[in-house]
Structures are given as structure tokens and as C-alpha cells.
Chains A and B, each alone.
Chain A
């Protein structure tokens, strides 16, 4: 069964410092990996995805993520955090399920708090 782990419920970082939100995954085949951000009382917004090719993926709002196949990780990063980045972040993996369809699995979410 495929799974996604976001080991940290909350990450605190000072404004201007680099941030990392961790994500590891487990799938049988090739993974398609996604990051989303959710602000209070809003839907999830797509940030970036890894499909194939360059392991470093750049996305919206200055975020990037690095796909590491050997460590089965897809950590979200940003060189300099903004207070407005404070939100809930979800990692997701999409891969072929034994039922013959592409199953999507989301992590439990990581709350990012950027401290002024």
C-alpha cells in the first residue's frame, strides 16, 4: 500500500531564515509527487509537482522541492521564509494502485509557523 509521511506536525522558523518541510513516501511503482498549501478556511492550493526529469522542482511563491529517489523523500524548501508563508502544507503521492487506477494519497499535513 502506498503511503506518505510528514513527520513534523509543526515547523517553526524565523522570518528570513530558510525553511524545510519534510515528506517521505512509499509506493510500488514510479511516484508522482505534489505539494499543496492551505490557508485557514480555504481549499488546498497547488504549489509544485515532480513528474520526471530534474530532481529539483521549482514552484509558486519561491518554493522548491527536491526529489530523492534513494531516500524516497520530497522535501519542500524555501531559501527565505515570509510571515505570509504561515499555513498548512500537504505532501501527496500519486501512483498505480493494485486496483488498476492511479491512487492519490495525502500526508497528514505540517503546520508552518513563520515568526516575525
Chain B
């Protein structure tokens, strides 16, 4: 069973461009989480999705950021009109339904805005 797959692993964008980060959860996992991490800092929760539904987006900026987890295909975190402050590592995690199930993380996508 492959782990949580994130791509691209590294992405460079110029200010004002769009960044699109993809996450394929582990097989059988219908819950996806996105987190942001700045260097030497902790994880900042962004959004929690289940298939075709956003459950909790309380950590996601209201503007420029959006996330989806369609019925088919990977989850996408989209950042429009990127700014330097968006430079960070973005981690996706997935789990099966059920509170006691483990959440597994991908290796992250490192976004650099120049």
C-alpha cells in the first residue's frame, strides 16, 4: 500500500502566479488534511476534507486559497496570486474514517515564491 503521495515535491513560482499542490491519499482513506509549516516551526492546520466535502476550513485564509477533494482523483490545494509569504512546506495527510485511525502524512510539497 503506497503512502500518501504529494506532488510536486518542490515548486517555484513567481509572485502573482498560481500554485497547485496535489495529494493522493492512501488507498481506502477518505479523509484528507492539509497543513502548512514554516522553517523551524510547527504545523498550521489549513483544511480538513472528506470526499466531495469540506469539513473544516477554519485554518485556511479566506482569499487566494482553496481546496478540493473530488469523488475521483487527488485532493488539490490551490493558491492563487502567490506572495512571498506563501513560501512554506505544505503537508497533506490522510486517514480512514473512524476516530481511532492513524493519520498518515505525505513527504510534503515545498513552495518557494520568488
Asked if B85 lies at the interface with its beta carbon under 8 angstroms from chain A, I say no
CA distance A106 to B91 in the complex (A): 13
Question: How many A-B pairs with Cβ below 8 Å?
Answer: 59
* Contact residues of B: prevailing secondary structure: strand
A44 close to B100 (CB less than 8 A): no
- Tell me the A65-116 residues at the B interface (CB within 8 Å): 90, 92, 94-97, 99, 101-109
Among B12-20, B61-69, B72-80, B104-112, which stretch is in contact with chain A? B104-112
Residues of B within 8 A of A51 (CB): 100
Asked if A106 meets B43 with Cβ closer than 8 Å, knowing A42-B108, A43-B107, A101-B55, the reply is yes
Contact A109 B42 (CB under 8 A): yes
Let me know if B114 is at the binding interface, CB within 8 A. Answer: no
Report A12 CB to chain B, min CB distance, Å.
Answer: 16
Q: Chain A at the B interface: mostly helix, strand, loop or mixed? A: strand
Query: Which of B33, B99, B102, B106 has a CB less than 8 Å from the CB of A43?
Result: B106
Do B91 and A43 have beta carbons less than 8 Å apart? yes
Question: Do residues A94 and B45 form an inter-chain contact, with CB atoms below 8 A?
Answer: no
Provide the residues of chain A in CB contact with B52, threshold 8 Å.
Answer: none
Q: Knowing that A92-B103, A101-B56, A105-B45 touch, tell me 14 more A-B residue pairs with CB under 8 angstroms.
A: A34-B102, A41-B108, A41-B110, A43-B106, A44-B91, A94-B100, A96-B99, A99-B56, A103-B56, A104-B45, A104-B103, A106-B35, A108-B42, A109-B41
28 pairs of residues in contact across A and B, judged by CB atoms under 8 Å = A41-B110, A43-B105, A43-B107, A43-B108, A44-B91, A46-B105, A49-B100, A90-B42, A90-B43, A92-B103, A94-B99, A94-B100, A95-B99, A96-B99, A99-B55, A101-B48, A101-B55, A101-B56, A103-B56, A104-B33, A104-B45, A104-B103, A105-B45, A106-B35, A106-B45, A108-B42, A109-B42, A109-B43
Name B residues whose Cβ lies closer than 8 Å to a Cβ of A.
4, 33, 35, 41-43, 45, 48, 55-56, 91, 93, 99-100, 102-108, 110
